[in-house]
Amino acid sequence: MIKKWLLSNLIGIIITTFVLIMTFGLVYSLATKNKITTRPEGVQFRSGPGRNYHALSALKRGSSLIIMKRAHGWYQVRRTDNEKVGWVASWVAESRTLNKATPLSEATIVLDPGHGGDPNKKYQGFPGDTGSISTDGKHFEKTYTLRTARHMRKALEHTGARVLMTRDSDTLIPLLHIPRLAEKYKADAQISIHFDHSNNENSSTTATGISQYYYHKNGQALTKSLHDSLNSLPLKNRGMDTAQYVVLNNVTRPATLLELGYINNHSDFKHIRTARYQKEIATAIVRGLTTYTKNTTEMK
Q: What is the CATH number of the domain that holds 225?
A: 3.40.630.40
- Backbone Cα Rg of the chain: 25
One domain for residues 74 and 190:
no
- What percent of the chain clears pLDDT 70, i.e. is strictly above it? 87
Look at residue 2 and tell me if it is in a domain. Answer: no
- Give the chain's domain count: 2
One domain for residues 71 and 213:
no
Look at residue 300 and tell me if it is in a domain. Answer: no
pLDDT of 289 reads 98
pLDDT of 32 reads 47
d(CA 214, CA 116): 22
One domain for residues 68 and 204:
no
Q: For 280-292, how does the pLDDT look when each residue is reduced to its tens digit (9 = 90+)?
A: 999 999 999 999 9
Segment holding 258, helix H or strand E = strand 255-262
Residues 6+ apart with CB under 8 A from 44: 55, 58, 59, 88, 89, 92, 101, 106, 299, 300
Look at residue 24 and tell me if it is in a domain. Answer: no
Give the residue numbers spanning the domain of 75.
Answer: 35-93
Q: For 34-52, how does the pLDDT look when each residue is reduced to its tens digit (9 = 90+)?
A: 999 999 999 999 999 999 9
One domain for residues 59 and 152:
no
pLDDT of 199 reads 82
Last residue of a domain, one of 60, 93, 126: 93
Q: Look at residue 252 and tell me whether its pLDDT is greater than 70.
A: yes
Average pLDDT over residues 160-168: 98
Look at residue 9 and tell me if it is in a domain. Answer: no
Identify which has the larger pLDDT, 21 or 199.
199
One domain for residues 212 and 288:
yes
Q: For 76-131, how does the pLDDT look when each residue is reduced to its tens digit (9 = 90+)?
A: 999 999 999 999 999 999 999 999 999 999 999 999 999 999 999 999 999 999 99
Whether pTM exceeds 0.95: no
Q: What is the DSSP letter of 219?
A: G
d(CA 226, CA 285): 6
One domain for residues 277 and 204:
yes
Last residue of a domain, one of 67, 93, 119: 93
Look at residue 99 and tell me if it is in a domain. Answer: no
One domain for residues 277 and 190:
yes
One domain for residues 118 and 239:
yes
- What percent of the chain clears pLDDT 90, i.e. is strictly above it? 85
**CATH number reported for the structural domain that contains residue 55 in this entry:** 2.30.30.40
pLDDT of 161 reads 98
Q: What is the DSSP letter of 60?
A: P
One domain for residues 82 and 151:
no
